[in-house]
A and B are shown apart, each in its own frame.
Chain A
């Protein structure tokens, strides 16, 4: 019998990083409540993966306003952009204590500059009033990706030798967890991955041409013997 597909009829699912489970259990239970199926796995980067191409991260408004977080945010977004075709950022309003009125914060110039640069870089920005709103936005996004035929259509489980192939694929350049997962399911052996053409890589995993090319080039790249010479052990 086949393992169940990640997205079966009618129901939508998304991959979620364990960091989210521990960091925002309320969001997780909200999502489960609306009927989104969550599969937890270590994604190293995104908080959520919604489809073959889309990764989503969540930031609070105050994280985006503070200059001290600039470096961390830049690194995270760059990594997401490198590995995923589409990157969304949900900007969530900071929570106020119960009973406390919603404060109107005048946003800093740094906040405005960050938004302008993120939008210019092609990051899709979505604004949320709180956890409930964030859950609804995630649900809408995952439904939309499914309608566009981008739902993850391989089993999430990897068995036996697939596990090694998955780790191998994750070491390839510009590859997301979901692409590595698809590769370890769609190819018959590791040597088949290595021998495949750019077109095969593209059609089997639905990645872009430039990504497929980069993988192809890496697998055929001849290392400079000087750089791979054994360093004498001291």
Chain B
């Protein structure tokens, strides 16, 4: 991995991209007191705090986590030692460019199966009747506006009433 050394980074220790910066809190920082807190809070950092979590400083971890994650809304990642930290930061660099398998994929899916599923939530309406209804009223919005007479012709009196009831009955 190629490293660039830059003295103007200020409180930040690593800069992975325009958006992601890393601030490193060592075991010593953590045990030494709360100075690191000011460093994190003043950084204006929208990034990641990597912290050493060793048996020696483990007791301070939950307080730090509460401060960094819950109060500041930043990301905090614990590592056991510097070699683990290097491994993690390297993976963060890869994650910058890689496609992320945990992000929501905004695939444009076909809405027909969804609408069909919605229509089948109406009591008395199975798949066959749902398809029949959608041929005549192709959207949920149009179906909800169908008159009793229009529905009766399609699915009979009983189901027509169930459909009207489903849409109109009060919810409270």
**What residues make up the interface of A, taking CB atoms closer than 8 Å to B?**
74, 77-78, 81-82, 102, 104, 106-107, 109, 112-113, 115-127, 129, 133, 136, 140-141, 144, 161-162, 164-165, 167-168, 171-173, 184-185, 187-191, 194-195, 217-225, 227-230
Contact = CB atoms under 8 A, between A and B. Distances in A.
B170 interface: yes
A196 to B, nearest CB: 11
A116 B69 contact: no
Nearest to B88: A112
Interface in B80-135: 80, 84, 87-88, 90-92, 94-96, 98, 100-105, 110-112, 114-118, 121, 123, 128, 131-132, 134-135
Given A81-B103, A107-B80, A116-B91, A173 B61 contact: no
Decide if the interface of chain B is mainly helix, strand, loop or mixed.
helix
A194 B134 contact: no
Decide if the interface of chain A is mainly helix, strand, loop or mixed.
helix
Nearest to B123: A164
Contacts of A119: 48, 75, 77, 92, 95
A195 B53 CA distance: 54
Q: What 8 A-B pairs come out closest when comparing CB atoms?
A: A121-B102, A116-B91, A116-B95, A228-B134, A222-B138, A191-B167, A116-B92, A168-B121
Nearest to A210: B106
Interface in B19-74: 20, 48, 53, 55, 58, 61-62, 65-66, 69-70
B62 A228 contact: no
Given A115-B91, A120-B100, A171-B114, A125 B138 contact: no
The size class of the interface chain B forms with chain A is 35 or more
Contacts of B172: 162, 185, 188
Contacts of A165: 171
A133 B78 CA distance: 15
B12 interface: no
B149 interface: no
B171 A117 contact: no
22 contacts: A109-B91, A112-B84, A113-B91, A121-B103, A124-B69, A140-B66, A161-B169, A164-B166, A165-B171, A168-B118, A171-B114, A185-B172, A188-B172, A218-B118, A221-B139, A222-B138, A223-B111, A223-B112, A223-B138, A223-B139, A224-B112, A228-B134
